[in-house]
Amino acid sequence: MKTSPIPADEWRDRCASRIRELDLKITDSEAETVAQDVYDFERTRSMQPEEAADFVAEQMSKAEPPRFERRSKDRAENAPFMRSLMRFLTEPKNAS
Taking the model in full, what pTM does it have? 0.66
Residue 74, domain member (yes or no): no
Cα–Cα distance measured from residue 90 to residue 78, given in angstroms and rounded to the nearest whole number? 23
Residue 20, domain member (yes or no): yes
The pLDDT score that the predictor gives to residue 62 is: 74
Give the DSSP letter of residue 67: -
Residue 42, domain member (yes or no): yes
Tens digit of each residue's pLDDT (9 = 90 or more) over 39-85: 999 999 999 999 999 999 888 877 565 555 555 555 555 555 555 55
Number of domains in the chain: 1
Cα–Cα distance measured from residue 50 to residue 17, given in angstroms and rounded to the nearest whole number? 8
Residue range(s) defining the domain that contains residue 36: 8-63+80-89
Torsion of CA 11, 12, 13, 18, to 10 degrees: 90
